[in-house]
Amino acid sequence: MDKVWFKNKVLTVFILIVLLLGCRKSDFIVEPGDVIINDNGLGTGTTTWTNDKEYVLEGKVFVNDGQVLTIEPGTVIRARQGMGTASSALIVARGGKIMAQGTAVEPIIFTSEGDDLEGSVSVDERGLWGGVVILGDASVNTLSGEANVEGISTSEPRGVFGGFNDEDNSGVLRYVSIRHSGTDLGQDNEINGLTLGGVGSKTIIENVEVISNTDDGIEIFGGTVNLKNIVVALCSDDAVDIDLGYRGNGQFWCLLQSDLYGDKLLEIDGGEDVKTARPYTIPVLYNITGKGRGEIFVNGMVSFNDNAGGIIANSVFVEQKHGIELEYSQARLSSFSQWETGTLQLKNCLFWNVNANAPGGMFTVVPLNDEDISDQQHDLDVYFSNAANRISDPGFVYNETGVSFISENDALTSSYSPLPDDPFFEQAGYIGAFGSYNWVGEWTLAYKEGLIW
């Protein structure tokens, strides 16, 4: 009898410990008065989500064509955890609009249902819910001029994007943090933290963080939307993936990969169905700071593929084995062809602890087939220095948790290219995403957790 009592007592204590560990007091618990948001085909309607309520997304929730979803500063939107058809996401359909205007003091946060914002979810926890998707009416590089966004069933008409209005306006994302997203919808089919499909240039996206997403942090499918003051950290695939004829501008992007997982900082691709058709992918990107995965990881930091062009200038890239890769083909137009015509430019960029700090091969020609590329590689090696690219220590400071990109090193201020004549771009007397001011600030989880300080 005593042995039976002892065994039952031990079992009871074990169960209590498991229950206590699984139900930490810090976990966010959905209460009866919280607002559960689901979708029965009617979408959100034109409505406002206020910061005095708790919102929980249940399944895929759409902002339908003609609807406007306004989200107040300081509002927290949590999403039910789940995979496949049970995954939760917020999708702004083509013709819909989101007005999510947070502030540096009161950011708008999208996160998982169990996140109390005080440590109940680890900073590097990924794939707990879907993500945020915005679809617009701007042009894309496909045969039909439209496409179905990945992660949403092709039978769902609200998942279609693309059109003819490059000045389309899908609303505003300002001071928004998207955390722990990218749930698996099926094999090799995850939702990005922020997906932008055919989004037009009158949409405003600035001061946006995507952290710890299972797939890409941000993926941009065509369109002309501009992005400023962007933070992407600890994602399992690329920090930013660009596809299908994107022609927007970007400035002040901070891209941070984990040493343990993730792929490129930037993957820039052309059209998937019609690689030589227009619009070409030609993003104009200035003032990027990107930290890669270290010298052990063999992939390049940035790649241009499928006849994509574009400009990367006044930027800093550190800590990865290889630099920038340009796809080459003798059989068809390629990203190397875009470089030959001047539609692809890489200028006034600084590299450190990349390519063993050697200029030769920092920009690499990658042949599609078994082709002799010695002449092309030589031309690209000469271009490296001719376009004012250089190798120098930027003076970043590392500690046990992260990195400070604020530096007074002359290497960041001694040479930079003039900015394009476009009101989107802000004058900056330095290269990289930061001067003397850490705009990442306390509105991001990356700052709060000491990843960027």
**Residue 135 domain-assigned?**
yes
**Residue 453 domain-assigned?**
no
Alpha helices (H) in 300-352, listed in sequence order: 335-340
Report the share of the chain in percent with pLDDT over 70: 91
103-138 per-residue burial string, b: 16 or more CB within 10 A, e: under 16: eeeebbbbbbbbbbbeeebebbebbbbbbbbbbbbb
Nearest to 325 by CA among 316, 315, 335: 335
The 10s digit of each residue's pLDDT in 165-179 is 999 999 999 999 999
Mean predicted confidence (pLDDT) in 335-353: 97
- pLDDT higher than 70, residue 302: yes
CA-derived radius of gyration, the chain: 23
Mean predicted confidence (pLDDT) in 237-266: 96
- pLDDT higher than 60, residue 309: yes
**Residue 161 domain-assigned?**
yes
pLDDT confidence of 278, banded at 50, 70, 90? Answer: confident
User: Domain containing 321: what range?
Assistant: 36-448
Alpha helices (H) in 74-156, listed in sequence order: none
**Residue 13 domain-assigned?**
no
Cα–Cα distance for residue pair 81/383, rounded to 1 Å:
49
**Residue 7 domain-assigned?**
no
* Domain total of the chain: 1
The 10s digit of each residue's pLDDT in 365-417 is 999 999 999 999 999 999 999 999 999 999 999 999 999 999 999 999 999 99
- pLDDT higher than 60, residue 58: yes
Mean predicted confidence (pLDDT) in 52-67: 97
Q: What is the pLDDT of residue 24?
A: 37
- pLDDT higher than 80, residue 21: no
Q: What is the pLDDT of residue 191?
A: 86
Structure tokens at 151: 């992660």
Residue 266 CB coordination number (10 Å): 26
Q: Residue 14 — φ and ψ, nearest 5°?
A: -60, -45
**Residue 240 domain-assigned?**
yes
- pLDDT higher than 50, residue 315: yes
**Residue 267 domain-assigned?**
yes
pLDDT confidence of 9, banded at 50, 70, 90? Answer: very low
Q: What is the pLDDT of residue 1?
A: 40
Mean predicted confidence (pLDDT) in 298-303: 92
Q: What is the pLDDT of residue 432?
A: 98
Q: Residue 431 — φ and ψ, nearest 5°?
A: -105, 160
**Residue 416 domain-assigned?**
yes
Instruction: State pTM to two decimals.
Output: 0.92
Cα–Cα distance for residue pair 111/445, rounded to 1 Å:
11
Q: What is the pLDDT of residue 20?
A: 37
Q: What is the pLDDT of residue 19?
A: 36
- pLDDT higher than 80, residue 3: no
Mean predicted confidence (pLDDT) in 35-50: 96
The 10s digit of each residue's pLDDT in 94-115 is 999 999 999 999 999 999 999 9
The 10s digit of each residue's pLDDT in 418-442 is 999 999 999 999 999 999 999 999 8
Q: Are 78 and 112 in contact (CB under 8 A)?
A: yes
- Looking up tokens 């699984």 gives 22
Alpha-carbon distance values, 302 to 51, 278, 290, 322 (Å): 39, 22, 10, 9
Average pLDDT of every residue of the chain: 91
Cα–Cα distance for residue pair 122/176, rounded to 1 Å:
19
- pLDDT higher than 60, residue 11: no
pLDDT confidence of 361, banded at 50, 70, 90? Answer: very high
- Helix, strand, or coil here: 150? coil
Q: What is the pLDDT of residue 378?
A: 98
Residue 306 CB coordination number (10 Å): 24
Q: Are 138 and 113 in contact (CB under 8 A)?
A: no
